[in-house]
Structure 1
Amino acid sequence: IHRVQPSLQTPQQLMGLSVFAERLGQTVLDGIQNGLGFVSFLGLTIVKMLWALTQPRRFRFTSFVHHLGRTGIDSLPIVAMLAFLIGVVLAYMSGEQLKNFGAESYTVDLVAASILREMGILITAIIIAGRSGSAFTAQIGTMKVNQEIDAMNTIGLDPVEFLVLPRVAALIISLPLLTFFANVMGLFGGAVIAVAVLDMSIPEFIVQLKSAVNLNDFLVGVAKAPLFGFIIALVGCYEGFRVSSSAESVGLQTTRSVVESIALVIVLDTMFVVFFSVVGI
């Protein structure tokens, strides 16, 4: 009598592995295709930007001013509130810990360096990615669902020139200004805690702030803002053009736009941190 060896895997398990492998492969292929499409869109946008520099009369200045107001001025309240709260939290938490070592005066150093170099630009970029980047995707996606993009192509208007360039230029300009404003509000939040909790006076805070930071700390944060603004606007517009003919696709691509923008911002910020550390800035 020969004993039949039981199968190591049941048909249901094999089917599950097959489905998993198929989904994994499709996800990888979709990611590669999406990445190649984004690189192509990036190159096209850069070419159009260079062309706009040689043909400034073709640039839609009115649309640029409109988006500059929407992405910049309209974002000031939320940026101010969150940056102020970040400054408060950083100052309070670091101050409580440094009190144990009698070094609470160094709270100003920690808060200033954190906000000026990293937290100010990161918080601002994340807010703009969720607010303006998603709006770009929804606006362009809705136009595509309504076949307005096809109509523009039919009458000979370039969608990249008319829709993408004003939005990209607006974020390149507005994000550094918002970052500067966020830095000011974050430091103000730290000053409030320093005075209210750490028993520091305003003159003492200012003196400590001057000794703790230099121009490089300010420039490191602000210098990243134009690139982050460019990436956020580019991703928002790209995902808008990828919307299909359904309203559900608008919501899906809007979500993808926010997630991809924030992920790219964090990856680029990490690269900047390593680069500035290597060059000693």
Structure 2
Amino acid sequence: MTEPSTPPGSADIEPLAGSRLLRLSGDWTLAHYSRLRLRVTELGNIGGAEVEITQLGKLDTAGAALLLDLLGAERLKQLAPALPVASRALLRTIHFSLQDFCEEEKPPERHIGLELLARIGKTVDTFRQNTLKLLGFIGLILETLAHNLFRPRRWRMTALILHIEQTGLNAAPIVALLTFMVGAVVAFLGATVLATFGATIFTVDLVAFAFLREFAVLLTAILMAGRTASAFTAQIGSMQANEEIDAIRTLGLDPIELLVLPRVLALLVSLPMLTFIGMLAGISGGAVVCAVVLDISPARFLGLVQNDIGIQHFLVGMLKAPVFAFLIAAIGCLEGLKVTGSAASVGAHTTSSVVQSIFVVILLDAVAALFFMEIGY
């Protein structure tokens, strides 16, 4: 025997004393969806009409969704006890599914002034957090250094010499070339401007003063920030992404002692030497321009430098070199340890280490210039 078929779904409005009666009947299934969808659209808001659903036949997900659109979740919840258990469960499932996957309302647009203040606040908070992390990391480096200072067996001499070669020896040609060219440019500009006042002889003092106090150490530190800090971040970051640093800790070794300390000490050795090379190269570039443009012989150039420029200007430049070296190495290593397990994270933190290093170098150089100027040194 075949099961008797029920009529297709329908939704009819009948008059009722003082109100209206919405009678739902038949099969509300996918086979009748198009016609039922049109009927639901025609009925629109049924308001306070009474609803009769006892004559409903078969119900599937398509029909249940239409009933939810027509009656609403609250109204349908009140009428559900009149339906079979399977139909009630289906309606409840469809209701929850529509709630889970409904499109979220777009938040109202914020005022541009509030958005600007929010971004400034976020930037300041990020700067504060990065500063605290850097200070904590510097303390950890100093603690590890003090712990191993009088334990020669724990010194990593092979790694130290390797990093000195990579950060110092390999960087010497580019530092010398850059400072030589900048020295020549400074001398040419000085000679051009000072010629207006008939004081071209002071071009010698300008070049020597600028490179001994500022340009040599600043240009060298910026080069190291772009060249060495990024290399430190990429090296340590790749190890962090590949879980090699976790393996080092598992073996009972200290990553700070094994990876960070040799790099910091190497840059502490390399940057002062590169700064000295930069001083010599920058003054040499100025001497070449003075000899060609101003007819000041190298012997006279050196004599003027010796007579007019005090030793304190050389000491100021050399004193800033180890401070810059320590901070550049610390920032590079810290950003490497922040890397998560992806290549994109390595690139992002490498960029961050370069930006932070250059920012810190220029900021400290400005503070140091003001300090030495105030104390008259």
Deviations 1:93-152 (A, max 9, x none): 000111111111110001100010000000000001100111000000000001001100
Q: Which residue of 2 aligns with 1:93?
A: 189
Cα distance, 1:36 vs structure 2: 1.7
Within the candidate set 129, 134, 143, 1:33 is matched to 129
1:275 corresponds to 2:371: yes
Deviations 1:204-227 (A, max 9, x none): 212111122121111110111011
Q: Which residue of 2 aligns with 1:80?
A: 176
Maintained 8 Å contact 1:141/1:241: yes
For residues 111-190 of structure 1, what are the structure 2 equivalents within 5 Å?
Answer: 111-190=207-286
Q: Which residue of 2 aligns with 1:52?
A: 148
Report the count of equivalent residues. 271
- How far apart are the structure 2 equivalents of 1:274 and 1:235? 24
SS in 1 for 2:359: helix
Within the candidate set 110, 121, 125, 2:206 is matched to 110
Determine which structure has greater relative contact order: mean sequence separation of CA pairs < 8 Å that are 6+ residues apart, divided by chain length. Answer: 1
Cα distance, 1:268 vs structure 2: 1.2
The amino acid across from 1:269 in the alignment is D
- How far apart are the structure 2 equivalents of 1:90 and 1:29? 40
- Alignment CA distance shift 1:24-1:110 (3 Å): closer
- How far apart are the structure 2 equivalents of 1:93 and 1:19? 45
Q: Which residue of 2 aligns with 1:251?
A: 347
Q: Which residue of 2 aligns with 1:8?
A: none
- % identical equivalent positions: 47
The answer to which structure has the higher strand fraction is: 2
Larger Rg: 2
Q: Flag as ranges the 4+ runs of structure 1 deviating above 6 A.
A: none
Cα distance, 1:193 vs structure 2: 0.2
1:261 corresponds to 2:357: yes
- How far apart are the structure 2 equivalents of 1:17 and 1:271? 32
Cα distance, 1:24 vs structure 2: 4.2
SS in 2 for 1:54: coil
Q: Which residue of 2 aligns with 1:233?
A: 329
- How far apart are the structure 2 equivalents of 1:62 and 1:14? 57
**TM-score normalised to the size of structure 2?**
0.69
The answer to which structure has the higher helix fraction is: 1
SS in 2 for 1:232: helix
SS in 1 for 2:110: helix
Q: Return 5+ residue gaps in structure 1 as ranges.
A: 1-10
- Alignment CA distance shift 1:100-1:126 (3 Å): same
The amino acid across from 1:211 in the alignment is N
The amino acid across from 2:281 in the alignment is M
User: Which stretch of the first structure deviates more once superposed, 40-49 or 17-26?
Assistant: 17-26
Maintained 8 Å contact 1:235/1:257: yes
- How far apart are the structure 1 equivalents of 2:375 and 2:142? 28
Q: Return 5+ residue gaps in structure 2 as ranges.
A: 1-106
**TM-score normalised to the size of structure 1?**
0.92
Q: Which residue of 2 aligns with 1:5?
A: none
User: Which stretch of the first structure deviates more once superposed, 203-212 or 102-111?
Assistant: 203-212
- Alignment CA distance shift 1:154-1:195 (3 Å): same
